[in-house]
Amino acid sequence: MSASAPISASTSISGSVLVLIQFDVCEEIRLDQLQQSMNARTVQQPKIKHSVPAYVRYQRPPVAEPLDALLLSGGERLEGEIKYYDYGVVSVIYQLSFSGDWESLVRLASHWVWDVDFAARVEPVVRQRLERAAPALVKPYSRWLSEDYFIFHLRDETGTVSAADLTRDHGLEIAQIVRGDRLRLSSSECAEVLQSRISYYENDLAVIGWNAAFLLDSNAGAETAIQLLEYANSQLLEFRHYDELLTGILDNVYDSLERKKGMLVRWRMKRSATELHTVLLDIGELTERADNSIKFLSDMFAARLYRLAAAKVGVPDYKDLVAQKLRTADDLYHDIIDQFNQARGFFLEVLVVLILLIELFYLFRGQVT
């Protein structure tokens, strides 16, 4: 294959800009019940771009329905779709077709990443949709956590653009797009961004950042990467929720232990220990369900792409925090139980002594009389 010609800064490029906004709205969404209340379809399993027998599949695929177009102040009209995941995450994707040069794409990336509050624009839309689906929501949350992410997809249907040539000629612009920065980055920072790149063929490319990604691929080829980026961000949202939940639970237990002193209080803490253990079991079940909601059965490239995306957005960090707090909570539970057992043992010993004293009292009283 002959090397592709360099793409100059003024060369016209085209593709799509995708805005991903996600909300953690409840503990669980009953997808079957949800589909009965709205015109939603089941999302197809991610397609694999190469021909080897490999599979990436959802354990329970999300359901989706179209949204009305979102109009921005600059006149852009974004077409949208909303997805519902069974582990309580609602995901909204808005898409805008793009055509222009590299400089205009860099400006657009910087403006959207930092200047447009998409979560505030989209949350009322999601709340309105969920009013119809209220019976399908299990334990809805009063406060929603949110995440947003941007995907800049440079479309190459002909397969003539080499990923190596593109990063050589336009690595700086790609790094700016992924960082959402309008100013020129240093060579070291540009190299840092481009370290997080992955390709399967020589003419496809994914550069993953913590709040944005750049893709070079055909529409069909980019589909898997987009779905895996969406999934990684939903995992981040879930583990952020568990982290906050465990932090609040541990703080409440510590406060209770500080306020309540004495032997009798240890007896009363049995209820707190039981509640703590119930929460631990619930969180363990929920994290396992969220963690296993997508399966990488034999597609090693998709698995590597997901691990890269998850690492860049921070899923392993929050997952480790949750695991650490689960261990702390479990240790605290066993400590409370040990204190309760000590209090119960002391109470039983006192009770035995009292019974013995009463028996001795009546024994000596009988002898005196």
Tens digit of each residue's pLDDT (9 = 90 or more) over 85-119: 999 999 999 999 999 999 999 999 999 999 999 99
What is the mean predicted confidence (pLDDT) over 169-185?
A: 95
pLDDT of residue 271: 62
**Dihedral pair phi/psi, residue 215, rounded to 5°:** -125, 140
* Residue 341 CB coordination number (10 Å): 12
What is the mean predicted confidence (pLDDT) over 231-236?
A: 92
Contact between 15 and 152 (Cβ < 8 Å)? yes
Give the percent of the chain with pLDDT over 70: 79
pLDDT of residue 107: 94
Contact between 48 and 55 (Cβ < 8 Å)? yes
- How far, CA to CA in Å, does 124 sit from each of 75, 120, 121, 131? 20, 8, 7, 11
Q: Which of 95-99, 135-139, 202-206, 329-333 has the lowest mean pLDDT?
A: 329-333
pLDDT of residue 10: 56
Contact between 167 and 202 (Cβ < 8 Å)? no
First to last CA, the chain: 117
**Of the candidates 311, 316, 329, the residue with the CA atom closest to the CA atom of residue 245:** 329
Tokens at 364, concatenated: 């000596």
Q: What is the pLDDT of residues 34-61, one digit of tens each?
A: 888 776 777 766 555 555 445 567 778 8
**Those residues with Cβ within 8 angstroms of residue 213's Cβ, 6 or more apart along the chain or in another chain:** 149, 150, 151, 152, 178, 206, 207, 225, 229, 309
pLDDT confidence of 350, banded at 50, 70, 90?
confident
Q: Regarding beta strands 212-217 and 137-155, do their DSSP bridges make them parallel or antiparallel, or are they unpaired?
A: parallel
The overall average pLDDT reported for the chain is 83
Q: Which of 168-182, 251-265, 309-323 has the lowest mean pLDDT?
A: 251-265
Q: Is 44 helix (H, G, I), strand (E, B) or coil?
A: coil
- How far, CA to CA in Å, does 197 sit from each of 43, 181, 206, 305? 27, 18, 5, 9
Tokens at 161, concatenated: 């653009």
CA separation for the pair 314, 236 (Å, rounded): 7
- Evaluate if residue 333 carries a pLDDT over 80: no
Q: Is 168 helix (H, G, I), strand (E, B) or coil?
A: helix
pLDDT of residue 2: 38
Tokens at 248, concatenated: 């609040």
CA separation for the pair 363, 357 (Å, rounded): 10
Q: Which of 111-115, 153-157, 324-328, 343-347 has the lowest mean pLDDT?
A: 343-347
Beta strands in 49-204 (DSSP E): 56-58, 63-71, 77-84, 89-100, 137-155, 197-198
Secondary element (H or E) of residue 357: helix 315-368
Count of residues in the chain: 369
What is the mean predicted confidence (pLDDT) over 155-165?
A: 82
Q: Is 46 helix (H, G, I), strand (E, B) or coil?
A: coil
Ramachandran class of 69: left when φ > 0, alpha when ψ lies in -120 to 50, beta otherwise? beta
**Dihedral pair phi/psi, residue 181, rounded to 5°:** -110, 130
Give the percent of the chain with pLDDT over 90: 49
